[in-house]
Amino acid sequence: MIESGNKKEEYREIKKYWIGRLAKCGGRNSYEKTGFYCKKAICFSCITRGNGFHPKEYTHVCFRFGYTKRTMLFELESITIGVGNTNWGAPDNECVFILKLGKCIKKNESKDSTEFQPKNS
């Protein structure tokens, strides 16, 4: 559905691994590294209880078809938290990370690439 352009969002569980990949704090409470201070040192609590979610600033996301070299590169419009569309694979009534996809930039059958590409600082 992503490849055809019908699915405009991708979902990830709010778990330690994805907090580390998608949150600026990376699951650690560090003002020096992030420029903000979480009210609580537990990232999951901050995210789910409304103390704030500070996403890393990615511009693109690359999806890989299993262990093949086939990939699709999309613009990443935003990373938010909310209840996703169950028709697109989100769990029922559960908060998840929502990756809002923009236009497809590139489809590739043979080149390796990373999953996320950060903004230039």
pLDDT for 41-89, tens place per residue? Answer: 445 556 655 556 778 889 999 988 888 888 899 999 999 888 999 999 9
CA distance 48 to 54: 12
Q: Which ranges of 13-118 does DSSP label H, i.e. alpha helix?
A: 16-22, 31-34, 43-48
pLDDT attached to residue 51: 59
Q: What is the mean pLDDT of residues 82-97?
A: 90
pLDDT band for position 106 (50/70/90)? confident
User: Under a CB-based contact definition with an 8 Å cutoff, are residues 56 and 24 in contact?
Assistant: yes
The torsion angles phi and psi of 55, rounded to 5 degrees, stand at -75, 150
Length of the chain: 121
| pLDDT at position 37 over 90 | no
- Give CA separation, 45 vs 25, 39, 94, in Å: 13, 10, 15
* pTM strictly above 0.75: no
| pLDDT at position 29 over 60 | no
pLDDT attached to residue 24: 75
Chain-wide mean pLDDT for the chain? 77
Sign of the four-CA dihedral 72, 100, 88, 104:
negative
pLDDT attached to residue 53: 74
